[in-house]
Amino acid sequence: MDWYLREVIILNNIGKSYVTGSQKLQVLKGLTCNIKEGEMVAIMGSSGSGKSTLLNILGLLDSFDSGEYILSGESMAGLNERAAAKFRSKLLGFVFQSFNLIGFKTALENVALPLYYQSIPRKKRNIIALDYLKKVGLEDWASHLPNQMSGGQKQRVAIARALVAKPKVILADEPTGALDSVTSSDVMKLLREINADGITMIIVTHEHDIAALCDRTIHLVDGLIDLS
């Protein structure tokens, strides 16, 4: 059983297709891969290779049609929205290319949001959130709104938000896509530090130097993993 537990993510023959009009588009064609706990993995692939779809499935933001997805020892097949929300809240953290902070909330409130949905009282929530803002070096920006911050700062707030609920896995969709190279390397350094604490990190990117900073890279080609 030991080997099984160390695999935080097991994907077995995952299939996913979209129907647009009369056309059926097979995006994932039986994808299989495992990710171990504490790994930092890059997912690469040209646009249309299915990497965003894969990330959405991994993040329980989208369903899959066939195959098996085991996250932290539990099957994710046929989850309803409520159960998916529960798993997201318990196991997953998200970092997006466009940060996806809520514009009318301060940095602190944005970071505290996942805790709000775990029914943690406001005071406690804010203490925890401030702690994580400190971790990303932004405690002085707690009361600022997202539009008062730079791209790099926004992404660090988003990373703090992804971390705040102590997830097992962080899913990052092009986390440096909107950042300049200096900021990008800062953000990557931060993600690497977080990974060092034992949190599994999955980063979707199309930049080779970003992928090079990860433990290994999964190449997607046309809905399948390129093993070449």
- The helix (H) or strand (E) run that includes residue 26 is strand 23-36
> Which contacts of 180-183 are long-range, i.e. CB under 8 A and separated by 24 or more positions?
180/151, 183/150, 183/151, 183/152, 183/155
Amino acid at 37: E
18 near other proteins, judged by CB under 8 A:
no
124 near other proteins, judged by CB under 8 A:
no
Per-residue mark of binding to other proteins, 178-217 (x: CB under 8 A): ----------------------------------------
Beta carbon of residue 79, minimum distance to other proteins (angstroms, whole number): 12
Its sign, for the CA torsion 124, 97, 10, 50, is positive
Per-residue mark of binding to other proteins, 61-80 (x: CB under 8 A): xx------------------
114 near other proteins, judged by CB under 8 A:
yes
92-95 and 7-20 strand pairing:
unpaired
Chain contacts with other proteins (rule: CB under 8 A): 56, 59, 61-62, 81-82, 85-86, 88-90, 94, 96, 98, 100-105, 113-114, 116-119, 121-122, 161, 165
